[in-house]
Structure 1
């Protein structure tokens, strides 16, 4: 059974509490990610994976109101959080999404999952240069990762570095000889755009995107169309793009 694990926590070095900040009058950033994911045919088994810290009780309250399953685990060892969550819900395949990407595109997600399944990969992602020669082609904020539980368990048992435990998947792409994996690139280079949220400027841009685009869900093509018609929007967080990278 494939499951989508969405990691979310309140603590953030650059923008604390960002996942619960309002994007529009009704939705927090976490709400927006969930709303975008709900359109995918691959995310029927959605679980929010947060931490055991009291500060993350507010995330659990939101998730309960929305009648979505949740899991609480380690704050710093996110690899363990994913492993324990996947084990509890008996997921054989896992889609990894992070809560700081409120424009995640379900069409991209579905394409990645379909490619993953049809080729029997252990791990797949987009724009990972350590796997292939691909350069960055998607805007920041659209990342999708999919991996098998057996690959996750392998990483959980053998990953030793703090960075490998915190960022979940580095052990995969550092060990190309162990895991069958690939990275997908976009047909057009859109790497000059950043739609992830790490700073107040990123948040401002996302709020403007949501206020300008009325249709739901919002697709990557909608965002690019908006950017090309209103190039001044891109300038809002251009100076922090390198930091987001």
Structure 2
């Protein structure tokens, strides 16, 4: 089974342009962290960056080439289309979806979701069908057949931009699994969405020396230094998705 991770990345973030190439320590960018974390997965065969055809994203293609990472360029707003054609190009049977604003994506969680996806014969598996992890640790796994049907049948702007809502909503079509978190961590997200997020992300990279940085390491850090929680911005992690739902309303009105 050819399992590959597709990381969606672009420079044109609405809230924080260029965030994927911002430094989280003296040498490593957000995208460096995402990729280096994923390299510790025992089950990923390929890691691919999927960016857009826009000229501003040439730097992401350059980053991929300079770091010997495979990459694909496609649609900007229709991220579902980008994923589908990327998966086709690299002949992936199983796709792991990761976003480029998750510098601490945990490879052990990635592998747990993949294992359950395979063992249970799922069409779609994740750890965010019911959110028990903070945003920033999201992992989604689906088959090429699931992706192809979603690409063909999903129509709403939110379904095209956010890739997997159609899969999540259609439980009667797609066999699903959700990985639950047993550790209660008092934050809603640990992602790079706004400039203010850099403080907590840089604090984590400086205070945890182990690599990869695992969810359990961050959990222990917050237990030992609860004052760090003051740096966390608990803005609704679904803010972007809720914004795209308004586009759905316009679409449905015709």
TM over 0.5: yes
Deviation digits for residues 8-59 of structure 1 (CA, Å, limit 9, x no counterpart)? 1111111111000000111010001000000001223111000001111111
Shift of 1:193: 4.6
**For residues 87 and 26 of structure 1, what CA distance do their matches in structure 2 show?**
34
* 4+ residue segments displaced more than 6 Å: none
8 A Cα contact 2:42 2:111, kept in partner: yes
The TM-score, its normalising length taken from structure 2, stands at 0.91
- Equivalent residue for 1:138? 133
The TM-score, its normalising length taken from structure 1, stands at 0.94
Deviation digits for residues 183-233 of structure 1 (CA, Å, limit 9, x no counterpart)? 111112335352111111212111110011111111111111111111111
- Equivalent residue for 2:236? 243
- Structure 2: segments with no counterpart, 5+ residues: 239-254
**For residues 196 and 39 of structure 2, what CA distance do their matches in structure 1 show?**
27
8 A Cα contact 1:42 1:110, kept in partner: yes
Alignment of 1:9-158 (within 5 A): 9-129=10-130, 136-158=131-153
8 A Cα contact 2:127 2:179, kept in partner: yes
8 A Cα contact 1:155 1:171, kept in partner: yes
Over the aligned positions, Cα root-mean-square deviation in angstroms equals 1.1
2:196 matches 1:201: yes
Shift of 1:138: 1.0
